């Protein structure tokens, strides 16, 4: 991995709360996977949780973690490997979970919590996971493209304190050709393109009309055609 400057900054960061507002194919999942392997390898006994809206998405991130671990030559031998869990001989564990309230409450003393597709993880799930970092002083990395201006992740990006933020639009990713972005803009339209590739928190990204346009339908700020009601 030859990291982009922002990826190198994230890999070196020891901030307790990190938000990665990054476009599709920017390398945010790969960056998170490297962080997971580094933590598991160099901090014995660590518990690393991979949380996504669904088990399938968590499994995809877990495969990236395994790929990094194997590419490094398994620096610490594993004592168990499954489709959802990697256990190292130094006592560290990497576990992938679907993002539901009921699946995360049994864990505690989490050293690293990685929330993938964070904008699509339910508020209740986030509220159930954040206390797991209280005693351990663990790190949370929440990565996503925006999914509108509501929800815990959007609120954290706009208003949250003590969050280290990284915004990576597609124009800052050298691996994405400008011709591809032009084609995507024409296909998706301005609202969806802004959310997927420009990291914008727009309402109704995949709707025909956005919220602002709908509100103009109900305005009374105009001169009546018949002032006297005739």
Percent residues over pLDDT 90 in the chain: 67
Per-domain boundaries in the chain: 5-174
* DSSP string for residues in 85-102: EEEETTS-EEEEEES-HH
Question: What's the pTM?
Answer: 0.84
Which H helix or E strand runs over 211? helix 211-215
- In CATH, what class is 5-174? alpha beta
Lookup result for tokens 């020891």:
14
In this predicted model, what pLDDT tens digit does every residue of 122-152 receive, in sequence order?
998 888 888 888 878 899 999 999 999 999 9
Neighbours of 24 (CB within 10 A): 12
Q: How many helices (H) and strands (E) does the chain have?
A: 9, 8
Cβ atoms of 16 and 162 within 8 Å: the answer is yes
Cβ atoms of 96 and 57 within 8 Å: the answer is no
Which H helix or E strand runs over 161? none
In this predicted model, what pLDDT tens digit does every residue of 64-88 receive, in sequence order?
999 999 999 999 999 999 999 999 9
Sequence length of the chain is 230
């Amino acid at each position: 991995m030859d990291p982009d400057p922002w990826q190198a900054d994230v890999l070196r960061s020891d901030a307790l709360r990190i938000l990665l507002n990054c476009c599709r194919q920017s390398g945010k999942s790969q960056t998170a996977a490297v962080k997971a392997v580094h933590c598991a390898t160099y901090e014995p006994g660590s518990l690393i949780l991979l949380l996504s809206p669904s088990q399938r998405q968590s499994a995809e991130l877990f495969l990236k973690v395994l790929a990094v671990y194997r590419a490094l030559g398994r620096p610490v031998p594993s004592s168990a490997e499954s489709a959802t869990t990697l256990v190292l001989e130094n006592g560290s564990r990497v576990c992938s979970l679907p993002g539901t309230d009921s699946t995360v409450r049994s864990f505690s003393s989490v050293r690293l919590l990685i929330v993938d597709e964070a904008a699509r993880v339910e508020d209740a799930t986030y509220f159930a996971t954040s206390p797991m970092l209280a005693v351990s002083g663990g790190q949370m990395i929440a990565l996503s493209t925006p999914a509108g201006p509501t929800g815990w992740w959007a609120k954290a990006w706009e208003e949250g304190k003590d969050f280290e933020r990284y915004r990576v639009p597609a124009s800052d990713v050298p691996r994405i050709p400008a011709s591809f972005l032009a084609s995507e803009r024409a296909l998706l339209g301005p609202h969806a393109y802004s959310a997927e590739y420009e990291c914008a928190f727009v309402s109704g990204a995949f709707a025909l009309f956005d919220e602002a346009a709908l509100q103009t339908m109900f305005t009374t700020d105009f001169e009546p055609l018949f002032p006297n009601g005739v």
